[in-house]
Amino acid sequence: MGSLQCHCHHLSLDSVNKIAKYFGLTIDQLINFDGNMPDEVTVEDKSLLEKVKLIARLEEEEKSMVFKMIDTFLTKKKFKDFFQNNIEAL
């Protein structure tokens, strides 16, 4: 991979995944072939602020997906609350 990086060639995540599968490895194992695997981040153990900081470190497309999901759930909750309050008022 070092020669690819030196020549400014970039592989897509899909390509890296295919290479890893071909060799029977995970992407982590392929990238950290020397065995120095990073510690897994468990989001459940993080405070809300820490979670937002972790989201901020994602790539733009991934951040956009996370925020779209959050917006969808918040909109659904607002509609549900609105209709429940208005039905109770009848």
Residues 27, 45 within the same domain: no
Residues 46, 86 within the same domain: yes
Half-sphere exposure of 87 (CA within 13 A, CB side): 6
Token pair recorded at residue 17: 């995944």
Return the pLDDT at 38.
64
pLDDT band at 1 (very low <50, low <70, confident <90, very high): very low
Structural domain span for residue 17: 1-40
Return the pLDDT at 3.
47
With a pLDDT cut of 70, the percent of the chain lying above it is 76
Mean pLDDT, residues 41-63 taken together: 82
Cβ distance 21 to 29 under 8 Å? Answer: no
Residues 82, 47 within the same domain: yes
Residues 58, 75 within the same domain: yes
pLDDT band at 8 (very low <50, low <70, confident <90, very high): low
Residues 57, 85 within the same domain: yes
Residues 74, 35 within the same domain: no
Contacts of 68 (CB under 8 A, 6+ apart): none
Return the pLDDT at 70.
92
